Amino acid sequence: MMSVFSAPDGRSFEGESIVVQEALERWKLRKGAVAARVDGRLVDLTATVTESSRIEPVEAASEEGLEILRHSTSHLMAQAVRRLFPGTKVAIGPAIKEGFYYDLEMAGTLTESDLKRIEDEMRRIVKEAHPVERFFLPREEALRRFRDEGETYKVELLEEIEDDTISLYRQGEYVDLCRGPHVPNTSMIKHFKLLSLAGAYWRGDEKNVMLTRVYGTAFADKEALEVYLKRIEEAKRRDHRKLGRELDLFSIQEEGPGFPFFHPKGMVIRNRLIDFWRSEHRRAGYQEIMTPLILDRDLWIRSGHWDHYRENMYFTEIDEAPFAIKPMNCPGGILVYKSQIRSYRDLPLRMAELGTVHRHERSGVLHGLMRVRCFTQDDAHLYVTPDQIKEEIQGIMALVHHVYSDVFGFSYHVELSTRPERAMGDRALWDRAEQSLQEALEEKGADYRLNPGDGAFYGPKIDFHLEDCIGRTWQCGTIQLDFQMPEKFDMTYIGPDGAQHRPVMLHRTVLGSLERFMGILIEHYAGAFPFWLAPVQVRLLPVKEEHLRWAGSVEGILKGWGLRVEVDRRDEKLGKKIRDAQLQKVPYMLVIGEREVESGQVSVRERSKGDLGVLPIEGLQDLFSGEFDPLGDEPSLHRRISIP
């Protein structure tokens, strides 16, 4: 029986069967393809199609194509490592965002200097142009094969697979357990780079052996790889851990792994963010609350956290009764809601909380301020009637847009995350919640991506991913729609009919967490914070000791305006004082020498523009008043002053 094979543009031909890449070649669609979709299913280019199908190429530069290319490069790297370091055992080697890694158990220690050797061997394998062939074995035969080779990690993975037939891939002497698809030949992998080494526990469990993780990346063309590598170098320059030390903002101490210590200058930034957060929430009709850090275990059982989140929680005991340190703020907020009878006239009720939470993260994933065990969420919970859902979601979206775009200048994209595998509650409530979020997005005209299965255990969510100045994305804000908690906690309000009704609960954050958002800002600005956030806004640079008196007078005036000011009183040359102020990313430097003392003026330098000339004090007032400040709460800066 003849089948019909169709191209994306409608062209077609008939045949009993066809190899995918031959079909693409017939349509002149083969160039640039690393795999294909057959009726929407990803397949190798070497796959044979026997039934009527729509065949479309997956190009290397596409999102799916890059994932396939990078996964294939991880196999290439593992093959090279096995050649150079016989006896190496391979674990897992997935493609990840912007790259890939492979976890390896090695007899010796791999060092950064070995990466070049591995890359060179990878290029030799590329030149050898091995076909990448998929083949299948019965499950027991595949188990025997990997046991005989001593591949204990592959054996463990295979023992958990219930399929009778196992998919494997071969390239030259190297065979790996994999579902694919992969590029058809190693010669197609040309533009790659190994980036770094790390330790990784097998399956993320600290009780297991520590493996060597090799990170790398691959791209479809040389130019894209070079752009990425430049971005990586820029990211290293902006690393918030490095800048945090250099600018004396925060530290992570051995005595508190995953628990950041904020220094005085770091607290300035943190408190300015808090002041800004409070100001925006007052304007948006939120009331601020605070709930306890430690609450009875029964509360967490009731909320579902005990069943769905226990492995991430810390516990303690009080008066011989079990308690838990809160990993989330929502159960405490619910108790505040339930502390009195609520009416429909009270809704929507918007309650915000800067709540400190503790979550157990494995030591291997801790990363400066980005991944910590203790952090403060800019949380809020909104209690609404069903007919208020869309309007309130859209109000949150407007607040997020204002904060990200208007204040910090970030671009961002939106994702809708749906029911996860381990979800709590009735499927019908989930469907209703997902539909409500989708309708709110579509009515707002928002461009969003669907992220299936990534919702919270109690409800679907909208996630906001902001993009920093070097193109990296960070998930920060979220809106989670929850029909489950109101049911579990029997939350009610009195409706206009005098009867009890169930409110709907919206969980949301805008910044995400103060710690992580600060880390993002440090890297986004490379430590050169805008004037309103800068720990030190102005540094006075007296040229000689006899100029200190006028510097002290100017300091007093500026502090009277509410500015954050330092005087560099060191016995150093002016050039060094300027360089040090530049290194500390101070927005304005005011040089005071003989001429400035005699005229009652200052010479102004701006960190990016350099010398702005000599200004009287009144001119400084105009200069600083023109700086952007989303708080607008510095009235003293706008009052005219008398000069002593």
Which of 21, 79, 171, 377 is catalytic? The answer is 377
Q: Is 640 a catalytic residue?
A: no
Residue 622 near residue 548, CB atoms below 8 Å = no
Which of 103, 176, 379, 482 is catalytic? The answer is 379
Amino acid identity at 108: G
What is the signed CA dihedral for 20, 21, 25, 27, rounded to 10 degrees?
A: 30
Judging by beta carbons within 10 Å of its beta carbon (0-12, 13-18, 19+), is residue 524 exposed, middle or buried? buried
Q: How far apart are CA 42 and CA 182, in angstroms?
A: 10
For the chain, the straight-line distance linking the first and the last C-alpha, in angstroms and rounded, comes to 100
Q: How far apart are CA 437 and CA 440, in angstroms?
A: 5
Q: How far apart are CA 355 and CA 88, in angstroms?
A: 47
Which of 37, 281, 330, 568 is catalytic? The answer is 330
How many other CB atoms sit within 10 Å of the CB of residue 104?
23
Q: How far apart are CA 325 and CA 304, in angstroms?
A: 15
Q: What sign results for the dihedral spanned by CA atoms 6, 7, 9, 13? A: negative
Residue 112 near residue 89, CB atoms below 8 Å = no
Q: Is 240 a catalytic residue?
A: no
Q: How far apart are CA 259 and CA 251, in angstroms?
A: 9
- The DSSP bridge pattern shows strands 287-288 and 99-105 to be unpaired
Q: How far apart are CA 102 and CA 79, in angstroms?
A: 11
Which of 373, 507, 547, 564 is catalytic? The answer is 507
Q: Is 381 a catalytic residue?
A: yes
> C-alpha angle with apex 168: 67 to 8, nearest 5 degrees?
45
Q: How far apart are CA 53 and CA 40, in angstroms?
A: 9
Q: Is 507 a catalytic residue?
A: yes
Q: Is 305 a catalytic residue?
A: no
466 DSSP β-pair partners: 412, 474
Q: What number of CA atoms fall less than 13 Å from residue 447's CA on the CB side?
A: 4
Beta-carbon contacts of residue 248 (< 8 Å; ≥ 6 apart): 263, 264, 265, 266
How many other CB atoms sit within 10 Å of the CB of residue 2?
8
Amino acid identity at 396: I
C-alpha gyration radius of the chain: 30
Which of 145, 270, 272, 381 is catalytic? The answer is 381
Token code pair at residue 126: 């590329």
Which of 238, 281, 359, 508 is catalytic? The answer is 359
How many other CB atoms sit within 10 Å of the CB of residue 638?
11
Which of 37, 71, 297, 461 is catalytic? The answer is 461
Active site residues: 330, 359, 377, 379, 381, 461, 507
